Amino acid sequence: MCVFCQIAAGDIPSKKVYEDEQICAFYDVNPQAPVHILVIPREHIASVDAVTKENSGIVARIFETIPSIAQKAGLSGGYRVITNCGADACQSVPHLHFHILGGRQLSDAMA
Ligand code: DGP
């Protein structure tokens, strides 16, 4: 089982901010901003490259949920949502995840 599947299952501890039957959100262990949350599907999808017509509904569900997670985390001034896909983007965990970053003025450089 991959590390994020284990976090979703509760086998690896994490500081969860939201969870339901399909989605799990928890604080990143290596924060890049004052607030850094990861949102994942419970279903193992390796990356954006593995999103299909059959499984893309979970991506919509995640984006429907992100505003309330951000609000709960106090990100009233705005936030950035990022997903890394593959080696060139430095994806280090092969389980689809969306970073929510905020809590300060972020750089306008995206890469
Ligand atoms: P990426 O580079 O986009 O694949 O981001 C993976 C993120 O996952 C990275 O910011 C660190 C975080 N991470 C890796 N392992 C763990 C873990 O065991 N717990 C938590 N909370 N975060 C983790």
Is residue 29 situated within a structural domain? yes
Q: Are strands 16-19 and 23-27 parallel, antiparallel or unpaired?
A: antiparallel
Say if residues 29 and 3 touch (Cβ distance below 8 Å).
no
Is residue 27 situated within a structural domain? yes
- Which atom in ligand 1 lies closest to the alpha carbon of residue 83? 3
Is residue 23 situated within a structural domain? yes
H/E stretch holding 57: helix 57-72
Q: Which residues line ligand 1 (CB under 6 A)?
A: 3, 7, 12, 14, 26-30, 38, 84, 90-93
- Of the CA atoms within 13 Å of residue 97, those in its CB half-sphere come to 24
44 is catalytic: no
From 1, 28, 48, mutation site for ligand 1 pocket: most ligand atoms within 8 A of C-beta = 28
Residue (of 88, 106, 83, 109) closest to 35 by Cα position: 106
pLDDT value for 110? 87
For residue 16, the enclosing domain spans 3-102
| CATH assignment at residue 72 | 3.30.428.10
CA of 75 to the centre of ligand 1 (A): 20
Is residue 111 situated within a structural domain? no
Measured distance CA(24)–CA(90) in Å, rounded: 22
Is residue 107 situated within a structural domain? no
> Which tokens is 7 given?
């976090």
Mean pLDDT by 10 residues, the chain (111 residues): 97 97 98 98 98 98 98 97 98 98 96 88
The 10 Å Cβ neighbour count of residue 75 is 21
pLDDT value for 97? 98
When divided into structural domains, the chain yields a total of 1
pLDDT value for 18? 97
pTM above 0.85, yes or no: yes
Q: How many residues does the chain have?
A: 111
Is residue 67 situated within a structural domain? yes
Is residue 77 situated within a structural domain? yes
CA of 32 to the centre of ligand 1 (A): 11
pLDDT value for 60? 98
pLDDT value for 2? 97
